[in-house]
């Protein structure tokens, strides 16, 4: 498949509610989409890097630059590019998995649209709807947190993930359990905030065992697999790794060391949806459940996440909330959930494409790239 050109589109998507993490507060999603143009079809991908390099080393400006300068030219000079071939063609550029994942997704989407095949079918999906959950960031008070969760529960979500950090852990979790009981599937995400913590902070993780949590996600540093294994031996609550899982090899090592019993798979973090499938396969072979993480995606990335989460090993609800959880108007037709379930879009490729009118409103910059310059 010859790529006639690539377009990078920068979007500014105001968030319905600023998403507060331990390191930053995102009020606007600075999104980066990729459009691939071929003689037979167009394809779309989304780079999930955030505005600043505080969550990962990748960030939107850097991703756009590396795509335009190094990655896209490697694809444009070839007369026959496939989704499977994108990874090998870009392999000599070190790092930048989120940028590479966006290009792979766009090429794969174009290929599948031309073939009339859905992404879920190509990946080996086994379901046409997936169970989804919602992630809740830090709130200014426990009362505010409970009201936010109440709204999500009223909307039909049956699984909630809370952000935690030293000093904001046992008390909010206890309050949520008291208010909503044990029918609500509850998990917590530390984003490595307990790395280097003192004994009293780590004791709080022990105390969380009393609240029947689905899992505690990434409590320690990304590279501290030994520490996660030791912590996991002390906790009854399963440990899930997120940021530590950067490839199939990383997943194999973490499982072998006993550093986790659950894995959060993000296609952007591992370099593409095809590598995400390989991580899924490794985990499934070893009996480790997986779920699909979210990165404040627009409908483009959300559609791809749904296709990935349709694979058999994704047995836990993912962070694939409805569009209106994040945006008043999504760049694609909105995704909705009913009773904690979301349907996969029908149609070839990822099954959706941007609404031109909305795209024009939120797009702040376009860059066209082709072999001819």
What is the secondary structure of 272-328 as a DSSP string? SHHHHHHHHHHHHHTT--EEE---S--HHHHHHHHHHHTSTTB-S-BS---GGGT-S
| Per-residue model confidence (pLDDT) at position 21 | 56
Asked whether residue 20 carries a pLDDT value surpassing 70, the answer given is no
Domains annotated for the chain, with CATH where assigned, are 5-116+353-369 (3.30.390.10), 121-343 (3.20.20.120)
pLDDT digits (tens, 9 = 90+) for 269-318: 999 999 999 999 999 999 999 999 999 999 999 999 999 999 999 999 99
Q: Tokens 């709130």: give the residue.
A: 139
Backbone angles phi and psi of 4, in degrees to 5? -75, -30
In 21-97, which ranges are E strands?
Answer: 25-37, 42-47
| Per-residue model confidence (pLDDT) at position 91 | 97
Arithmetic mean of pLDDT, 99-118: 98
Q: pTM of the predicted model, to two decimals?
A: 0.95
Asked whether residue 327 carries a pLDDT value surpassing 80, the answer given is yes
Arithmetic mean of pLDDT, 18-27: 64
CB proximity list for 172: less than 8 A, separation 6 or greater? 142, 145, 162, 164
d(CA 146, CA 177): 10
d(CA 45, CA 363): 15
- 373 pLDDT band, cuts 50/70/90, is low
| Per-residue model confidence (pLDDT) at position 229 | 97
Active site residues: 163, 266
| Per-residue model confidence (pLDDT) at position 24 | 55
Q: Give the closest residue to 332 by CA, choosing from 352, 304, 349, 357.
A: 352
pLDDT digits (tens, 9 = 90+) for 117-169: 999 999 999 999 999 999 999 999 999 999 999 999 999 999 999 999 999 99
| Per-residue model confidence (pLDDT) at position 200 | 82
d(CA 134, CA 128): 20
């Amino acid at each position: 498949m010859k790529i006639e050109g690539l377009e990078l589109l920068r979007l500014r998507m105001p968030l319905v509610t600023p998403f507060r993490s331990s390191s930053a507060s995102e009020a606007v999603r600075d999104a980066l989409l990729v459009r691939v143009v071929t003689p037979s079809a167009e394809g779309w991908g989304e780079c999930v890097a955030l505005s600043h390099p505080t969550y990962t080393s990748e960030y939107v400006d850097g991703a756009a630059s590396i795509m335009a300068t190094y990655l896209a030219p490697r694809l444009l000079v070839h007369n026959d590019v496939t989704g499977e071939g994108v990874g090998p063609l870009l392999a000599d550029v070190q790092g930048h998995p989120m940028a590479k994942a966006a290009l792979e997704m766009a090429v794969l989407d174009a290929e599948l649209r031309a073939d009339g095949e859905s992404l879920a079918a190509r990946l080996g999906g086994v379901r046409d709807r997936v169970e989804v959950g919602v992630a809740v960031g830090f709130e200014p008070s426990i009362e505010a947190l409970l009201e936010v969760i109440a709204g999500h529960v009223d909307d039909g979500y049956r699984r909630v993930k809370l952000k935690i950090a030293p000093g904001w852990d046992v008390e909010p979790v206890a309050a949520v359990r008291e208010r909503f009981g044990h029918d609500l599937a509850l998990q917590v995400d530390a984003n490595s905030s307990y790395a280097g913590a003192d004994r009293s902070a780590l004791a709080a993780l022990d105390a969380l065992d009393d609240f029947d949590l689905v899992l505690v996600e990434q409590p320690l540093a990304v590279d501290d697999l030994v520490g996660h294994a030791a912590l996991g031996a002390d906790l009854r609550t399963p440990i899930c790794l997120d940021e530590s899982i950067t490839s199939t090899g990383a997943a194999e090592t973490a499982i072998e060391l006993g550093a986790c019993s659950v894995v959060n798979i993000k296609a952007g973090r591992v370099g593409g949806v095809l590598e995400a499938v390989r991580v899924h396969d490794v985990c499934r072979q070893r009996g480790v459940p997986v779920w699909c993480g979210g990165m404040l995606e627009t409908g483009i990335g959300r559609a791809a996440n749904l296709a990935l989460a349709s694979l058999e090993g994704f047995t836990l609800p993912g962070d694939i909330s409805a569009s209106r959880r994040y945006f008043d108007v999504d760049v694609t037709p909105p995704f909705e959930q009913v009773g904690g379930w979301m349907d996969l879009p029908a149609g070839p490729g990822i099954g959706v494409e941007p609404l031109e009118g909305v795209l024009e409103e939120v797009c702040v910059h376009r860059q066209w790239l082709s072999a001819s310059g």
